[in-house]
Amino acid sequence: MTEDKKPLNRRFIVFIFLFSIAVLTVLVRYATLMLGGGEVPESLRTERFAERGSILDRNGRILALQTRLANISAWRPEINDIKGVCEELAPILEISADELLERIGLASSDFVYLKKQVDESTIKMIEAAHREGRLRGIGIEPVLGRVYPERNLASQTIGFVGNENKGLAGIEYAFDAELSARGGIAGNQVVLTIDTNVQYILEQIAGNIMTESQAEAVMLMAMDPRSGDILGSASLPGFDPNDIHLSDESARMDRPAIWAYEPGSVFKVFSLAALMDSEAIDDKSFFTCDGHYEHTSRSGEKVTINCLGAHGRVSPREIIIYSCNAGAAYAADQMGATPFYEELRNFGFGSRTGAGNPGETAGFLRSVERWSDRSKPTLAMGQEITVSAMQMIQAATAIANDGILVPPRIVSRIISPDGKTVHEWESGPNRRIISAETAQYMRSYMVDVTKSIGTGWRARVEDLSLAVKTGTAQMSKPSGGGYSDTDFIASCIALLPAENPSLVLYLAIVKPKGEILGGRIAAPPIREAAEALVDYLGIPRGRNPQLSHPPSVTLPNDRPPVITDQVPDFTGYSKRTILPLLLREDLRIEIEGEGWVRRQDPPPGTKLTPDTVIILELE
């Protein structure tokens, strides 16, 4: 060997020695963290993270909260009996023993993840096995996690987070900066305007509609027009944000805010209001409908729009009652294009509402320069414009509030970790866009829609006055070039009580099969929603008079039971109420089922020790 090669060999030997030490250090570290033998390493169990803030409904119900999750892994060199470990682990992870055996056996390395983001009860079962010397080689890697106690409820509004606990959709995304922990300090809480009880009612009704109509999608919204608060926003199909991988993009879409479509005849409420408020027409104006609208432009182009029937001599009232296309088109001829466009813009069409939903659409309203000879009459009946359900319910506030438009909001306030209000959320200023007289006229017309001659009589509630308008809109062909002969949107809007509305309901059924007319399939669910929500919200009506009551009332306990040195009585507590207890390091609670606690083990009064496992059965 020559002299010049000796230093090179020495350097190579030193490199190999140092590299071996580094590899050995990594392997020892993984073995320490992942083998799981005996007591769980303290470093794994005591690491504390600043929590991401919770998302709450208007009544303080938890819709999203931080929780302790973990990734479960296998370190093959420490597993003596792989088959036995897989058989014991299978029911804990809810994965078959054969599948676990395959994952471990086919892994390209000795370290393999078996399941990610498991819940607290799974963690505790594996920890118990570790303490007894079982499941050696099965590791627990603590991670930040997010739990959505109400599962599918309002899921598109709430959104979800990714693996890094960063918001990816919905409120989780739009308010990520407020919710995220900063510098070791817990994130703020976001309080929504949503009422989970209202949301549940709407989603149940929407689910029935989906089943009965075999629709592609359903949107059903409830709003307090006085404040702009969205009380419920159902969008089906839906998804469970606890199991994102089981959903697709369509199910995760917040349709009421981000999907734009032609509204159809419900839009006549706003086009007629615009025409009346500008004094282009008035309550006593009349137009003749012989089954179609005809107009020849100055350029010689003949425009024809068909109507559902020959309605004869119609006033604005009859145009709304019968949903007369020809009457609306002739009425639009009485107003210039530019002022008509400006009036529709005043209602909020063509602009985002700013309600707080990420990705909200502005819809589409062409500038006047791009209008054709048929644009104005077509717009009057709800075509050549695309809107969102959020825009429709916003425009309805002007009819409900005697001309004052109130922008909608989905978030009410931001609260700091210590419970102080950081910010009151406002989506925009209230503004008058039409006169009180015009709004009152429109509500009176819409009340007549619920009478036997109107298209919305199926929405009528006997002891409550509803202002209603129905609609049926042809959808554009996906490839463009006209309207589909098979795809429709059936819709209905309602303001109640009609004299002084405190609730607006809006329903859109997308691509129903069979019956397609809004008066037939959208009006009945609006009646059902009105019946249920009037009772829940305490809106006065004939058989539901408002009763006086003492100044103090007893409300159900909505807080977790107090934990002392004895096991408390959990009977009757809801799952969402006891979920915060899962975050406590000094308690071991396992929850089985959904709903409210019906049985528990051990019984109330049992001495509580660090080893006590409290099992709660919910129904």
Amino acid 9: pLDDT: 55
Amino acid 557: pLDDT: 46
Amino acid 142: pLDDT: 86
Q: What band does 75 get if pLDDT is binned at 50, 70 and 90?
A: very high
CB 596 within 8 A of CB 619: yes
Report CA-CA distances (Å) from 450 to 493, 497, 505, 518, 567: 12, 13, 15, 13, 57
Amino acid 599: pLDDT: 87
Q: Is the pLDDT of residue 260 over 70?
A: yes
Q: What band does 418 get if pLDDT is binned at 50, 70 and 90?
A: confident
Q: Is the pLDDT of residue 19 over 90?
A: no
| Non-local CB neighbours of 551 within 8 Å, separated by 6+ positions | none
How many CA atoms, within 13 angstroms, populate the side-chain half-sphere of residue 66? 22
Q: Is the pLDDT of residue 183 over 50?
A: yes
Residue 253 DSSP symbol: -
Amino acid 29: pLDDT: 44
> Mean pLDDT across the stretch 322-351?
97
> Mean pLDDT across the stretch 485-493?
95
Q: What band does 591 get if pLDDT is binned at 50, 70 and 90?
A: confident
| Burial class of residue 117 in the structure, from the number of CB atoms within 10 Å of its CB (0-12 exposed, 13-18 middle, 19+ buried) | middle
Q: What band does 452 get if pLDDT is binned at 50, 70 and 90?
A: confident
In 3D space, the residue among 470, 455, 405, 414 whose CA is nearest the CA of residue 434 turns out to be 405
Amino acid 30: pLDDT: 42
Range name among 107-121, 209-223, 435-449 with the lowest pLDDT average: 107-121
**Global pTM value:** 0.77
Structure tokens at 551: 């100044």
Q: Is the pLDDT of residue 178 over 60?
A: yes
Range name among 177-191, 360-374, 423-437, 468-482 with the lowest pLDDT average: 468-482
CB atoms within 10 A of CB 477: 13
d(CA 619, CA 362): 44
Amino acid 38: pLDDT: 38
Q: What integer best gives the mean pLDDT of the chain?
A: 87
Range name among 57-71, 475-489, 514-528 with the lowest pLDDT average: 475-489
Range name among 226-230, 296-300, 493-497, 564-568 with the lowest pLDDT average: 296-300
Amino acid 23: pLDDT: 43
Amino acid 605: pLDDT: 85
> Mean pLDDT across the stretch 537-558?
52
To 5 degrees, how large is the angle CA 547–CA 549–CA 550? 170
Alpha carbon 192 to its chain centroid, in Å, reads 11
Q: Is the pLDDT of residue 37 over 60?
A: no
Structure tokens at 480: 């463009």
* No. of helices (H) and no. of strands (E), the chain: 21, 23
Q: What band does 49 get if pLDDT is binned at 50, 70 and 90?
A: low
Residue 245 DSSP symbol: G
Q: Which residue has the higher pLDDT, 585 or 226?
A: 226
Report which listed range, 264-273, 458-467, 573-582, is most confident.
Answer: 264-273
483-496 and 467-476: which strand pairing? antiparallel
d(CA 328, CA 341): 15
497 cis-preceded (ω within 30 degrees of 0): yes
What are the backbone angles phi and psi of residue 156, rounded to the nearest 5°? -70, -35
How many CA atoms, within 13 angstroms, populate the side-chain half-sphere of residue 203? 24
Q: Is the pLDDT of residue 289 over 80?
A: yes
What are the backbone angles phi and psi of residue 450, rounded to the nearest 5°? -85, -5
State percent of the chain over pLDDT 70: 89
Q: What band does 13 get if pLDDT is binned at 50, 70 and 90?
A: low
Q: Is the pLDDT of residue 496 over 90?
A: yes
Alpha carbon 145 to its chain centroid, in Å, reads 20
Amino acid 571: pLDDT: 85
| Non-local CB neighbours of 272 within 8 Å, separated by 6+ positions | 281, 316, 319, 320, 328, 331, 380, 442, 445
Q: Is the pLDDT of residue 554 over 60?
A: no
Amino acid 520: pLDDT: 95
Amino acid 11: pLDDT: 53
Amino acid 594: pLDDT: 73
Amino acid 10: pLDDT: 53
pLDDT digits (tens, 9 = 90+) for 324-333: 999 999 999 9
In 3D space, the residue among 217, 230, 241 whose CA is nearest the CA of residue 155 turns out to be 241
